[in-house]
C-alpha cells in the first residue's frame, strides 16, 4: 500500500510473523539463506544451551527474534529472561565474522553497566550461525507500540515523566568511566515501558562502522539521528537530539522515519497537538537544535528543563482531558440565501449574472447571482440532483423524470428534451458537438447537440451516475457495478477497468492521468490511454466525491468524514481534514482556498496547501452538493432547501 | 469553409514559407542537424529504445554498481504497449559488501516486477491488474530490502529503478543514484532527490551549493536499501518526455561530469549506444574516481 501506511504494515508484519512461528516448528539452521528470520524462529519448548527454555516470541528484528524464555537453572522459581537472537544468514564468511564481532561488542558493553533503566545481561553464547544474548526480562511494552496503539495523543504529563527518566539514564551513560557511552539509537522502539510505568533502554547493538572516503553507512536510526551523527560523530549531544526526536514523535504521533531528516522545525508540536504546553515545546525544540552547541549541554541540563516544565504546567499532577483543535464558527454571514420547496443536492452553474440550480422540488431555478432574486424556474417531473451544463445560451439538465431538458438560459423556455429509460442522476458533459450523459437505464448516451437526437448509446453493466469526462477523443465514465469505461466517439469500447465497488464519483484528469474515487474506499489514478492503474490511495471509507486537482495535488472527500489532499505524482497524503460527518460532495478550489460541504451541515473553507481551516459556515442540514466559487462569491446548496451565497 | 477557399485558391502563406527555407550551400550547422534529424527512422507505433554502459572507473579495483535494462513491448488485444524496466544500484563501499547488496537489489526488484507482469507479457490477460504501478514498485523495493538484510546484513545500496509502461514512468528511488530527463534543446532536469546528507544540508540552507560540491562527507547517505527497519523509498510516476530521454546513472557519472556536459554527450550523439559511451568516457576523462553506470531510454513514435 501507499507509503504512509508503512508503520502500520510493519506492525502487522510483526504480528503475522509471530503467528507463523507455529508453522515452522523445527529449528533448522540448514535452511541457509532462504526465507527471512521469522521463518526460522525457535519453537516454544526448545531449550538453548541446556538452560533457557524458549516460551514465546516477543519481538522480531531485522536479524532475528527476541524470545521470552525461562532460566532452568532456577527449577523452583520461574525466572524469566529475554533471549535476543541474531541469525547470521550471510553467505560470505567475511560478512559473517563482522556480524559476530558486533554482537560481542554489545554483550561486553552491557556487562559493565548497572542502572535500573538498563536491562542486566546474564549470558551470551553462539551456536552455529546463531548468537544469543540473555538479558533481564522486561514486563511491558515498547513506546512505539504505545504510541501506535493509543487512540489519540498521549498526554503531555505521561510523555514528560518518561522523558525525565530517559534523561537520567542518558546522563548515567554519558558519565560512564573511563569513556562515556553514547547510546546512538534513542527512539521509541528502543524504550520499554515496564509494568510499573518506568522506562528501560534496550538494544545496545549499534556498532561503529564508519569509514570516510567510501559511501558511508548510517549510524543510528534515520529520522531520530542528528545531522552530525551522519558524519560519524557520536557525542552526548547526539543522544540529546534523538531524545528530542523521540519526545516529538510521542507528542505528535508523527513518525520521523517517514519524514525528511531534520524536518522537525517544519512540524511544530503545538500545531499538530495543541494540548501540549508552550514550555514543553520549547524544551523539545532546544534538544532538536540543528547545531550541537545550541542544544542542552548535557542530559542533566535537559532533565532540569523538563522538571521546570513539570512544575510550571503542573503536568505531573494535573492530567487534563485532551482538547483537540476546537473550531470556532467564525460568524460567517451569507450575502443572501434562497429557499426552494425541497432539498438541494445538486450543484449550481453560473451564466451571465444568473445562478442556475436544480432542486428536489423538480424545478430548475435561475436566480440573480448578486442578490439571490428569483428570475425564473423550469419545472421537470422529477428531482434534480446534478449540475446544469451550458452551451450557447442553453442550459442542459438531467432529471429523475428520465429526461435531459434543454432550456433557454435567459427565459427558462424549453428548447427540446431527450428521453432515456431511467432517472438521470449524471450531469451532462458537452464536447465535440455532442452531449454525453449517463442514465439509470444503464446506458451512456451521446446526443447530437444541434438536433437533440441520439448519436449512439453505450451499454454498461449498471446505472451510470457518474458524469462522463471527455479527453483525447475518448469518453470516460464509471457505473454502479464498479466498471469503468473508455469509449471512443463512435461508441466503441476502448478499454475497461474494474473497481471493487460502484464508481459514482465523476472523473477529473490531466493529460497524463484520470482520477476518480469509488465506493470501495479508494482514490484511483489511471493511465487515460490504456486503463493501467498508476496508483491507488486508500480512503478511510467509501467515496462518491469527485476529486479536484490543483498544484500537483488531488483533493477528495470520503464517507469517513475526511477531506484528503494527495500528491498526484507520488500518491502521498499531504494533509487530511476531519469534518463531523460524511463528505459526499466534491471539493472545489478558488484562489488559495478549498471549499467543501459535509453531511454535518457545514461548508468548510480550508487553506488548500495545508488543510488549515479558514472558516466554516453552518447550514441547517447536510450538504451533499458541490459548491461553486465565482467572482469572489461561493455558492452552495443544502438539504435544508436553501442555496447560500457567501463571500469567498 | 475556410479550408474550402484555401483549397480553391492555394495557401499563400505556406508558399511564402516554402521559399524561406530554400537552402543554399554552405549549410549551417543547424540545417545539417535538421537534415540528419529528418533521416532518423520514423515509427508508426510508439516504442522504447534503450542502451546502457558501465565502467569500473580509474581509481577503484572493484565494481560495486549493478545495472539492468530491459526493453520490450506488451502485446495485447488493444495494441502493443511499450514496456521497459531499468535499474541502477550503487553498493555502499568498503568492507560492507556493496557489490552483494547492489546485485541482490537488482535481482530482487527485477524478479518481483517481472513476475507481476508475466501474465500480461506472455499470456493474453484481459482483466486489469489488481495492483497499481506504484504498489508493485513499493513491494519490489521492500522485498529487495529483506533480501539484502538476509544476504549481506549491515550493507546497503542505492537503487533507482524505472518501470515504463506506455507513456508512464514509475520511479522507485533510494539513495544518491539519479534519474534525469534530458531534452534535445539542451535542458536537463533531475527527477529524483538524493537521500544524501550533503543534499539535505543544502536543502535546509546550512550549506551553499558551492560548499556542497566540496563537502567532505559527500558519500554519506541517510537512506539506503538494506539500512534501517522502515524503508521509505520515493515512489512516483511521471509522463515520458517527448521528445527527450530518460537517463539513470550512479554518482560515478553525475558526481564528476557537469550537467551541461551530460546533456551534450547525450544530445550530440548519433544514437543511444554512442551516447552511453560518450558519458562513460567523459567520467573517466574527469578522473573516473568511482564506478560508472548509465542507462539511456527514449520513447519514439
Mutate to test the interface with B, among A215, A256, A528 (most CBs of B within 10 A): A215
Q: Which of A74-78, A267-271, B7-11 has the lowest mean pLDDT?
A: B7-11
Does B77 touch chain A if contact means CB atoms closer than 8 Å?
Answer: no
Count the alpha carbons within 13 Å of A226 in the hemisphere toward its beta carbon: 26
Cβ pairs A/B, distance under 8 A: 186
The CA radius of gyration of chain A, in Å to the nearest whole number, is: 31
Kindly report the nearest CA distance between residue A228 and chain B, in angstroms.
Answer: 9
Mutate to test the interface with A, among B147, B232, B240, B299 (most CBs of A within 10 A): B232
Q: Tell me which residues of chain B, numbers 218 to 277, contact chain A at a CB-CB cutoff of 8 Å.
A: 219-224, 227-230, 232-239
A409 neighbors A370 (Cβ within 8 angstroms)? no
Does A338 touch chain B if contact means CB atoms closer than 8 Å?
Answer: no
Residue A545 has pLDDT above 90, yes or no: yes
* pLDDT given for residue B276 in this prediction: 96
Residue in the structure block whose three cell numbers are 550471510: A90
CB contact under 8 A, A217 and B151: no
Residue A542 has pLDDT above 90, yes or no: yes
| Strand segments (E) across A279-353 | 336-339, 349-351
**Do the bridges between strand A593-597 and strand B234-239 make them parallel or antiparallel, or are there none, so unpaired?**
unpaired
- pLDDT > 70 in chain A, percent: 88
B132, B229, B234 ranked by CB distance to A535: nearest: B132
The dihedral built from the CA positions of residue A261, A263, A267 and A268, taken in this order, carries a sign that is: positive
Residue B37 has pLDDT above 70, yes or no: no
Q: Which has the closest alpha carbon to A545: A513, A570, A571, A579? A: A579
CA distance B67 to B87: 6
Q: Which of A535-539, B37-41, B116-120 has the lowest mean pLDDT?
A: B37-41
Does A222 touch chain B if contact means CB atoms closer than 8 Å?
Answer: yes
Confidence of residue B19 (pLDDT cuts 50, 70, 90): very low
Partners of A232 on chain B (C-beta within 8 Å) are: 217, 220
Q: Tell me which residues of chain A, numbers 478 to 497, contact chain B at a CB-CB cutoff of 8 Å.
A: 494-497
Q: What burial letters (b/e) apply to A173-211, b meaning 16+ CB within 10 Å? A: bbeeeeeebbbbbbbbbbbbbbeeeebbbbbbbbbebbe
Is this model's pTM higher than 0.90 or not? no
CB contact under 8 A, B219 and A215: yes
- Helix A299-313 to helix A156-174 angle (10° resolution) is 160
Does B97 touch chain A if contact means CB atoms closer than 8 Å?
Answer: yes
Average pLDDT (B104-124) is: 92
Selected residue with higher pLDDT from A288 and A260: A288
CB contact under 8 A, B217 and A231: yes
Partners of A498 on chain B (C-beta within 8 Å) are: 127-128
Selected residue with higher pLDDT from A436 and B227: A436
Would you call the peptide bond into A178 cis, given omega within 30 degrees of 0 as the criterion? yes
Ranges A104-118, A565-579, B120-134, most confident: A565-579
CA distance A207 to B265: 43
Report helix, strand or coil for A122. Answer: strand
Confidence of residue A230 (pLDDT cuts 50, 70, 90): confident
CA distance A517 to A544: 6
Nearest CA in chain B to A1: B135
Average pLDDT (A370-396) is: 93
Fill in the DSSP letter of residue A258.
Answer: G
Average pLDDT (B214-226) is: 82
Does B170 touch chain A if contact means CB atoms closer than 8 Å?
Answer: yes
Does B146 touch chain A if contact means CB atoms closer than 8 Å?
Answer: yes
What are the grid coordinates assigned to B122, written together?
506472455
The dihedral built from the CA positions of residue B138, B139, B142 and B148, taken in this order, carries a sign that is: negative
Kindly report the nearest CA distance between residue A212 and chain B, in angstroms.
Answer: 7
Kindly report the nearest CA distance between residue A282 and chain B, in angstroms.
Answer: 21
- Mean pLDDT over all residues of chain A? 84
CB contact under 8 A, B152 and A92: yes
Query: For A450-464, how does the pLDDT look when each residue is reduced to its tens digit (9 = 90+)?
Result: 899 999 999 999 999
Q: Kindly give, in sequence order, each residue whose CB lies less than 8 Å from that of residue A176, ignoring residues fewer than 6 positions away.
A: A112, A113
* pLDDT given for residue B93 in this prediction: 66
CB contact under 8 A, B94 and A61: no
- pLDDT > 90 in chain B, percent: 55
* CB-count burial class (<10 Å; 0-12, 13-18, 19+) for A606: buried
Kindly report the nearest CA distance between residue B162 and chain A, in angstroms.
Answer: 13
CA distance A586 to A590: 13
Does B193 touch chain A if contact means CB atoms closer than 8 Å?
Answer: no
B152, B229, B235 ranked by CB distance to A62: nearest: B229
Q: Which has the closest alpha carbon to A57: A22, A32, A91? A: A22
Confidence of residue B145 (pLDDT cuts 50, 70, 90): very high
CB contact under 8 A, B100 and A497: no
CB contact under 8 A, A569 and B237: yes
Confidence of residue B33 (pLDDT cuts 50, 70, 90): low
Residue in the structure block whose three cell numbers are 544530445: B267
CA distance A378 to A340: 13
Residue in the structure block whose three cell numbers are 537488482: B106
Q: What burial letters (b/e) apply to B75-112, b meaning 16+ CB within 10 Å? A: eeeeeebbbbbbbbbbbbbbebbbbbbbbbbbbbbbeb
Average pLDDT (B237-251) is: 94
B92, B223, B233 ranked by CB distance to A222: nearest: B223
B132, B154, B232 ranked by CB distance to A257: nearest: B232
Confidence of residue A139 (pLDDT cuts 50, 70, 90): confident
* Residue A216 neighbours by CB distance under 10 Å: 27
Residue A325 has pLDDT above 80, yes or no: no
Nearest CA in chain B to A511: B239
Does A254 touch chain B if contact means CB atoms closer than 8 Å?
Answer: no
Angle at A345 between CA A340 and CA A346, to 5 degrees: 95
Q: What is the dihedral of CA A285, A291, A297, A299, to 10 degrees?
A: 60
Nearest CA in chain B to A215: B219
Residue B230 has pLDDT above 80, yes or no: no
Q: In Å, what is the CA distance from A203 to each residue of A87, A109, A121, B4? A: 16, 11, 11, 83
* pLDDT given for residue A214 in this prediction: 43
Residue A37 has pLDDT above 70, yes or no: no
Confidence of residue A93 (pLDDT cuts 50, 70, 90): confident
A33, A209, A257 ranked by CB distance to B230: nearest: A257
Residue A374 has pLDDT above 90, yes or no: yes
CB contact under 8 A, B92 and A260: no
Does A10 touch chain B if contact means CB atoms closer than 8 Å?
Answer: yes
* Torsion region of B141: left, alpha or beta (phi above 0 gives left; psi -120 to 50 gives alpha): alpha
Confidence of residue A430 (pLDDT cuts 50, 70, 90): very high
Q: Which domains does chain A have, with CATH numbers?
A: 3-136 (3.30.200.20), 142-313 (1.10.510.10)
Written as one string, the DSSP assignment of B145-187 is: HHHHHHHSTT--B-EEEEEEETTEEEEEEESS-EEEEE-TTS-
CATH H-level, domain B47-300: superfamily: PPM-type phosphatase domain (3.60.40.10)
* pLDDT given for residue B6 in this prediction: 56
* Residue A285 neighbours by CB distance under 10 Å: 17
* pLDDT given for residue A16 in this prediction: 33
A95, A262, A570 ranked by CB distance to B236: nearest: A570
A36, A258, A290 ranked by CB distance to B232: nearest: A258
Does A3 touch chain B if contact means CB atoms closer than 8 Å?
Answer: yes
Mutate to test the interface with A, among B79, B229, B240 (most CBs of A within 10 A): B229
Partners of B81 on chain A (C-beta within 8 Å) are: 530
B170, B227, B232 ranked by CB distance to A3: nearest: B232
Average pLDDT (A467-478) is: 93
Average pLDDT (A565-571) is: 94
CB contact under 8 A, B133 and A91: no
Q: Which of A96-100, A341-345, A469-473, A540-544 has the lowest mean pLDDT?
A: A96-100
CA distance A576 to A594: 12
Q: Which of A174-188, A296-310, A370-384 has the lowest mean pLDDT?
A: A174-188
Q: Which of A94-98, A451-455, B256-260 has the lowest mean pLDDT?
A: A94-98
Mutate to test the interface with B, among A8, A14, A217, A232 (most CBs of B within 10 A): A217
Average pLDDT (A269-294) is: 92
A10, A36, A533 ranked by CB distance to B146: nearest: A36
Fill in the DSSP letter of residue B10.
Answer: -
Residue B7 has pLDDT above 50, yes or no: yes
Count the alpha carbons within 13 Å of A192 in the hemisphere toward its beta carbon: 20
* pLDDT given for residue A150 in this prediction: 85
Average pLDDT (B212-226) is: 82
Confidence of residue B127 (pLDDT cuts 50, 70, 90): confident
* Residue B25 neighbours by CB distance under 10 Å: 5
Q: In Å, what is the CA distance from B170 to each residue of A463, A476, A483, B117? A: 34, 23, 25, 14
Q: Which has the closest alpha carbon to B172: A3, A514, A610? A: A3
B97 neighbors A92 (Cβ within 8 angstroms)? yes
Residue in the structure block whose three cell numbers are 509494568: A195
Model ipTM value: 0.79
CB contact under 8 A, A530 and B217: no
Confidence of residue B9 (pLDDT cuts 50, 70, 90): low
Q: Which of A68-82, A207-221, B271-285 has the lowest mean pLDDT?
A: A207-221
Average pLDDT (A152-172) is: 91
* pLDDT given for residue B147 in this prediction: 92
Confidence of residue A316 (pLDDT cuts 50, 70, 90): low
Nearest CA in chain A to B240: A512
Residue A248 has pLDDT above 80, yes or no: yes
Q: What is the dihedral of CA A350, A353, A354, A355, to 10 degrees?
A: 40
A177 neighbors B116 (Cβ within 8 angstroms)? no
CB contact under 8 A, B237 and A525: yes
A91, A255, A533 ranked by CB distance to B128: nearest: A533
Average pLDDT (A36-56) is: 81
Amino acid at each position: 500500500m501507499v507509503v504512509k501506511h508503512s508503520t502500520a504494515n510493519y506492525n502487522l508484519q510483526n504480528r503475522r510473523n509471530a503467528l507463523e512461528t507455529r508453522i515452522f516448528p523445527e529449528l533448522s539452521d540448514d535452511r541457509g539463506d532462504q526465507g527471512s528470520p521469522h521463518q526460522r524462529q525457535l519453537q516454544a519448548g526448545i531449550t538453548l544451551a541446556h538452560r533457557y527454555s524458549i516460551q514465546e516470541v516477543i519481538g522480531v528484528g531485522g536479524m532475528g527474534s527476541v524470545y521470552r524464555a525461562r532460566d532452568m537453572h532456577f527449577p523452583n522459581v520461574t525466572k524469566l529472561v529475554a533471549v535476543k537472537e541474531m541469525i547470521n544468514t550471510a553467505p560470505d564468511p567475511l560478512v559473517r565474522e563482522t556480524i559476530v564481532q558486533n554482537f560481542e561488542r554489545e554483550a561486553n558493553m552491557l556487562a559493565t553497566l548497572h542502572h535500573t533503566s538498563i536491562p542486566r545481561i546474564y549470558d551470551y553464547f553462539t551456536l552455529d550461525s546463531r548468537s544469543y544474548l540473555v538479558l533481564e526480562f522486561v514486563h511491558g511494552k515498547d513506546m512505539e507500540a504505545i504510541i501506535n496503539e493509543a487512540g489519540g495523543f498521549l498526554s503531555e504529563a505521561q510523555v514528560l515523566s518518561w522523558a525525565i527518566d530517559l534523561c537520567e539514564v542518558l546522563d548515567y551513560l554519558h558519565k560512564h568511566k573511563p569513556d562515556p557511552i553514547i547510546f546512538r539509537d534513542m527512539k521509541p522502539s528502543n524504550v520499554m515501558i515496564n509494568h510499573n510505568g518506568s522506562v528501560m533502554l534496550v538494544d545496545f547493538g549499534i556498532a561503529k562502522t564508519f569509514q570516510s572516503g567510501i559511501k558511508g553507512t548510517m549510524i543510528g536510526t534515520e529520522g531520530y539521528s542528528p545531522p552530525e551523527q551522519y558524519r560519524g560523530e557520536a557525542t552526548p549531544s547526539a543522544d540529546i537530539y534523538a531524545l528530542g526526536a523521540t519526545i516529538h514523535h510521542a507528542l505528535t504521533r508523527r513518525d520521523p522515519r517517514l519524514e525528511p531528516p531534520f524536518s522537525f522545525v517544519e512540524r511544530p508540536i503545538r500545531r499538530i497537538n495543541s494540548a501540549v504546553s508552550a514550555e514543553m515545546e520549547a524544551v523539545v525544540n532546544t534538544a532538536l537544535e540543528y547545531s550541537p552547541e545550541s542544544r542542552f549541554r548535557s542530559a542533566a541540563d535537559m532533565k532540569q528543563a523538563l522538571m521546570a516544565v513539570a512544575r510550571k504546567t503542573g503536568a505531573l499532577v494535573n492530567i487534563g482531558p485532551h482538547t483537540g483543535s476546537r473550531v470556532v464558527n467564525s460568524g460567517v454571514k451569507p450575502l443572501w440565501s434562497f429557499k426552494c420547496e425541497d432539498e438541494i443536492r445538486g450543484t449550481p452553474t453560473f451564466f451571465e449574472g444568473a445562478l442556475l440550480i436544480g432542486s428536489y422540488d423538480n424545478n430548475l431555478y435561475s436566480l440573480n447571482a448578486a442578490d439571490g432574486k428569483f428570475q425564473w424556474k423550469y419545472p421537470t417531473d422529477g428531482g434534480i440532483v446534478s449540475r446544469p451544463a451550458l452551451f450557447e445560451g442553453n442550459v442542459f439538465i438531467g432529471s429523475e423524470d428520465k429526461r435531459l431538458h434543454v432550456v433557454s438560459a435567459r427565459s427558462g423556455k424549453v428548447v427540446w428534451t431527450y428521453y432515456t429509460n431511467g432517472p438521470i442522476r449524471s450531469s451532462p458533459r458537452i464536447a465535440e458537438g455532442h452531449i454525453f450523459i449517463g442514465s439509470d437505464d444503464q446506458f451512456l448516451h451521446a446526443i447530437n447537440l444541434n438536433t437533440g437526437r441520439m448519436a449512439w448509446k453505450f451499454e454498461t453493466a449498471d446505472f451510470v451516475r457518474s458524469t462522463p469526462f471527455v479527453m483525447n477523443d475518448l469518453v470516460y465514465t464509471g457505473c454502479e457495478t464498479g466498471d469503468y469505461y473508455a469509449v471512443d466517439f463512435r461508441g466503441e469500447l476502448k478499454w475497461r477497468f474494474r473497481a471493487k465497488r460502484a464508481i459514482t464519483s465523476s472523473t477529473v484528469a490531466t493529460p497524463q492521468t484520470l482520477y476518480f474515487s469509488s465506493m470501495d474506499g479508494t482514490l484511483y489514478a489511471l493511465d487515460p490511454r490504456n486503463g493501467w492503474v498508476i496508483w491507488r490511495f486508500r480512503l478511510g471509507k467509501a467515496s462518491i466525491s469527485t476529486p479536484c486537482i490543483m498544484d500537483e495535488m488531488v483533493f477528495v472527500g470520503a464517507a469517513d468524514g475526511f477531506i484528503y489532499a494527495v500528491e498526484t505524482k507520488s500518491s502521498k497524503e499531504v494533509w487530511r481534514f476531519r469534518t463531523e460527518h460524511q463528505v459526499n460532495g466534491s471539493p472545489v478550489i478558488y484562489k488559495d482556498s478549498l471549499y467543501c460541504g459535509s453531511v454535518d451541515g457545514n461548508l468548510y473553507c480550508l487553506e488548500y496547501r495545508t488543510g488549515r481551516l479558514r472558516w466554516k459556515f453552518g447550514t441547517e442540514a447536510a450538504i451533499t452538493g458541490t459548491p461553486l466559487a465565482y467572482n469572489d462569491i461561493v455558492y452552495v446548496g443544502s438539504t435544508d432547501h436553501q442555496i447560500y451565497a457567501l463571500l469567498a | 469553409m475556410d479550408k474550402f477557399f484555401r483549397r480553391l485558391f492555394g495557401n499563400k502563406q505556406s508558399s511564402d514559407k516554402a521559399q524561406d527555407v530554400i537552402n543554399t550551400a554552405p549549410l549551417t550547422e543547424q540545417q545539417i542537424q535538421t537534415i540528419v534529424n529528418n533521416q532518423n527512422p520514423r515509427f508508426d507505433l510508439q516504442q522504447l529504445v534503450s542502451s546502457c554502459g558501465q565502467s569500473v572507473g580509474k581509481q577503484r579495483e572493484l565494481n560495486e554498481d549493478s545495472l539492468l535494462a530491459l526493453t520490450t513491448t506488451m502485446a495485447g488485444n488493444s495494441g502493443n504497449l511499450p514496456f521497459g524496466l531499468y535499474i541502477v544500484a550503487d553498493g555502499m563501499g568498503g568492507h560492507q559488501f556493496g557489490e552483494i547488496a547492489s546485485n541482490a537489489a537488482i535481482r530482487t526488484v527485477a524478479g518481483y516486477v517481472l513476475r507481476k507482469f508475466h501474465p500480461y507479457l506472455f499470456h493474453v490477460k484481459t482483466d486489469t491488474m489488481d495492483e497499481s504501478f506504484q504498489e508493485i514498485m513499493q513491494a519490489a523495493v521492500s522485498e529487495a530490502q529483506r533480501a539484502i538484510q538476509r544476504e549481506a546484513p549491515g550493507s546497503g545500496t542505492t537503487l533507482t529503478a524505472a518501470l515504463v509502461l506506455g507513456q508512464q514512468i514509475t520511479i522507485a528511488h533510494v539513495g544518491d543514484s539519479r534519474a534525469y530527463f534530458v531534452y534535445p534543446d539542451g535542458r536537463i532536469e533531475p527527477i529524483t532527490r538524493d537521500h544524501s546528507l550533503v543534499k539535505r544540508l543544502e536543502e535546509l540552507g546550512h550549506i551553499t551549493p558551492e560548499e556542497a560540491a566540496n563537502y567532505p562527507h559527500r558519500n554519506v547517505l541517510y537512506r539506503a536499501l538494506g539500512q534501517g527497519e522502515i524503508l521509505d523509498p520515493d515512489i512516483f510516476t511521471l509522463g515520458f518526455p517527448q521528445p527527450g530521454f530518460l537517463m539513470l546513472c550512479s554518482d560515478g557519472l553525475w558526481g564528476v561530469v557537469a550537467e551541461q556536459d551530460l546533456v551534450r554527450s547525450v544530445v550530440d550523439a548519433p544514437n543511444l549506444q554512442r551516447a552511453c559511451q560518450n558519458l562513460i568516457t567523459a567520467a573517466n576523462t574527469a578522473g573516473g574516481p568511482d564506478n560508472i553506470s548509465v542507462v539511456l531510454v527514449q520513447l519514439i513514435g
